[in-house]
């Protein structure tokens, strides 16, 4: 498994796709603080802590970027050609599946770390400090800690769909439906006025990856919210991995 992971990591980071996406993320991370400092000084008058607070509402975007991260590792070329070869050569399907999932998780963590690091360092250097910055820094770290398992759940779901759906459009429908579509449907059901139906929809809604992110006002370091995010994130991560691996083990690769 170690050699397989090393080979997968090397192939993933060597692709122009990875470097191009990383450059785009770093350009965005660097561009905002530079623009605030030198280009549009009147546009943002906040402190370093304020700049971190601006990011937390956008952590939901990380759920949808899981599709891009997974595609960097599990590209169409790999799915259509190399996957068949690896199965034909007798590589265990469990190793193939888990190797791809772990590699995608590593790629995602590296991209997130570098992007947030560049943004935070430049904001710290270019923007003034303030008395309340420490509270905002803690809030940022708290929300980030809660977002990580949800991002991993979205990535596990995406990898499961990519392994078992041969075409891109059905895969995207499944992933985006689970991430965004179910939330809208359940919210409509919750407003029907039928008590038992609304209660059931509310219970299911709280199991969605997007549900904890929808709560904007959370007490700092709330164990209840962190337990919710990690519980839901692990449920989707392990559940999608188990279902995806079980289906892939029975899939006829042609």
The residue extents of the domains of the chain are 2-250
What DSSP assignment string belongs to the chain?
A: -HHHHHHHHHHHHHSHHHHHHHHHHHHHHHHHHHIIIII-TTT----HHHHHHTTGGGGGHHHHHHHHHHHHHS-HHIIIIIHHHHHHTT--HHHHHHHHHHHHHHHHHHHHHHHHHHHHHHHHHHS---TTHHHHHHHHHHHHHHHHHHHHHHHHHHHHHHHH-SSHHHHHHHHHIIIIIHHHHHHHHHTS--HHHHHHHHHHHTTSTTHHHH-----TT-HHHHHHHHHHHHHHHHHHHHHHHHHHHH----
- pLDDT digits (tens), the chain, 254 positions: 888 888 888 888 888 889 999 999 999 999 988 888 786 656 667 789 999 999 998 899 989 999 999 988 887 656 556 777 777 787 888 998 999 999 999 999 999 999 999 999 999 998 888 888 999 999 999 999 999 999 999 999 999 999 998 788 898 999 999 998 898 899 888 888 788 888 999 999 999 999 999 998 899 999 999 999 999 999 999 999 999 999 998 887 76
Q: In terms of pTM, does the model score above 0.75?
A: yes
């Amino acid at each position: 498994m170690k050699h397989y992971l090393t080979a997968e990591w090397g192939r993933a980071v060597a692709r122009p796709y990875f470097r191009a996406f990383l450059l785009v993320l770093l350009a965005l991370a660097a561009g905002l603080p530079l623009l605030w400092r030198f280009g549009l000084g009147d546009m943002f008058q906040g402190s370093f802590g304020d700049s971190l607070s601006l990011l937390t509402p956008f952590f939901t975007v990380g759920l949808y970027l899981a599709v891009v991260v997974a595609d960097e590792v599990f590209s169409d070329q790999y799915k259509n050609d190399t996957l068949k070869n690896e199965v034909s050569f007798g590589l265990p399907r469990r190793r193939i599946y888990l190797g791809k999932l772990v590699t995608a998780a590593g790629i995602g963590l590296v991209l997130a770390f570098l992007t947030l690091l560049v943004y935070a360092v430049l904001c710290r250097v270019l923007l003034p400090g303030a008395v309340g910055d420490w509270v905002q820094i803690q809030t940022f770290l708290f929300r980030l800690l809660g977002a990580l398992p949800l991002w991993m759940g979205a990535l596990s779901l995406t990898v499961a769909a990519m392994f078992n759906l041969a075409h891109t459009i059905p895969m995207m429908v499944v992933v985006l439906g689970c991430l965004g579509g179910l939330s809208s449907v359940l919210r409509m059901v919750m407003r029907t006025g039928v008590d038992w139906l609304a209660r059931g929809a509310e219970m299911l809604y709280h199991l969605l990856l997007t549900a904890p992110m929808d709560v904007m006002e959370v007490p700092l370091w709330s164990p209840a919210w962190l337990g919710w995010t990690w519980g839901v994130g692990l449920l989707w991560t392990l559940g999608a991995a188990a279902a995806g691996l079980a289906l892939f083990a029975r899939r006829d690769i042609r």
